[in-house]
DNA sequence: CTAGTTATTGACTGTTTAGTCAATAACTGC
DNA sequence: GCAGTTATTGACTAAACAGTCAATAACTAG
């Protein structure tokens, strides 16, 4: 129909996920995301709209179907809970669903992952 | 000896603790701390040196002698683990000591507090 | 009262932040 | 080819950021 995208959206989300998981939400700047994805500013904003929206897509991809408590995905969940969930209901909803998947061990699984930051 | 301080250091640390616990480390700006403490920029920096040092004093006060896993103190511990511990050894050391105090229930206690962000 | 010391103030700096946009490029349908 | 559409680029903006500093104020010792 028109000029095609030069990137694959899923790949970009996966690259952004790595950056958010490693740095956390606030500490991960747009420049960090540009570096991680190889995109230019305008392209990132055209495709995703805002930092918060990028994170929402990252989180949905990580915690949606096929969520299996990989370390990186737990880091994203912890970040979402600590930095966003209390003031962002859609993010909180995604978190709730993932936590239901974890069942009664949710607290221990998350706490154990938190403690991994000491090693 | 000279001009006396117009504030009590322990009070200021307690006020800063509330702000850090509520907002997290990165999301808590110096302006947030000035608002919370009522101090002026120069006074805060003269007394504590840097944002990171203020946080270290807050954390030491919260997790040192008399640490009793109050909600606010757990929030500070979680913040320290997630945002600072992996790249700041003195902060990590304070965390380790508090976690030893919590014993084998540490992971569950921290995870449970994390999940409270959903309510 | 004076000299010495330390605390307070708030204007200032340079950097980094998230986000915007006009110009241009790359495509498709005709 | 041409017209229409969407993607890319990177310079740009305004706000927020952590941290500094010269001027001044408030104290103590003598």
CATH number for the domain that contains residue A92:
1.10.357.10
Residue A3 counted as domain residue: no
How far apart are the C-alpha atoms of B79 and B55, rounded to whole Å? 10
Question: Domain residues for A62?
Answer: 9-118
Residue A104 phi/psi, 5-degree rounding, is -75, -15
B111 touches chain A (CB under 8 A): yes
Judging contacts by C-beta atoms under 8 Å, the chain B residues touching residue A24 are: 26, 82-83
Instruction: For chain B, give the mean pLDDT.
Output: 97
Kindly provide the ipTM of the predicted complex, given to two decimals.
Answer: 0.94
Task: State how many domains chain B has.
Answer: 1
How far apart are the C-alpha atoms of B111 and A102, rounded to whole Å? 12
Q: Is the CB of B42 under 7 A from strand C?
A: yes
Residue B3 counted as domain residue: no
Residue A4 counted as domain residue: no
Residue B40 counted as domain residue: yes
Residue A108 counted as domain residue: yes
Residue A63 counted as domain residue: yes
Judging contacts by C-beta atoms under 8 Å, the chain A residues touching residue B86 are: 117-118
Residue B97 counted as domain residue: yes
| Stretch A39-48: mean pLDDT | 98
Residue B110 counted as domain residue: yes
Exposure string (b/e) for B91-111, b if CB count within 10 Å is 16 or more? bbebbeebbeebeeebbbbbb
Reported as a single tens digit per residue, the pLDDT across B42-98 is 999 999 999 999 999 999 999 998 999 999 999 999 999 999 999 999 999 999 999
- Measured between its terminal Cα atoms, the distance across chain B in Å is 51
């Amino acid at each position: 129909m028109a000029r095609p995208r030069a990137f694959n959206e899923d790949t970009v989300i996966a690259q952004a996920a790595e950056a958010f998981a490693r740095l956390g939400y606030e500490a991960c700047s747009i420049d960090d995301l540009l570096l991680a994805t190889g995109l230019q500013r305008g392209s990132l904003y055209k495709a995703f709209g805002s930092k918060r929206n990028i994170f929402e897509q990252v989180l949905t991809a990580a915690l949606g179907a096929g969520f299996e408590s990989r370390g990186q995905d737990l880091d994203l969940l912890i970040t979402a809970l600590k930095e966003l969930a209390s003031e962002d209901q859609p993010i909180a909803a995604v978190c709730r669903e993932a936590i239901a998947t974890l069942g009664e061990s949710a607290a221990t699984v998350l706490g154990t992952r938190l403690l991994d930051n000491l090693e």
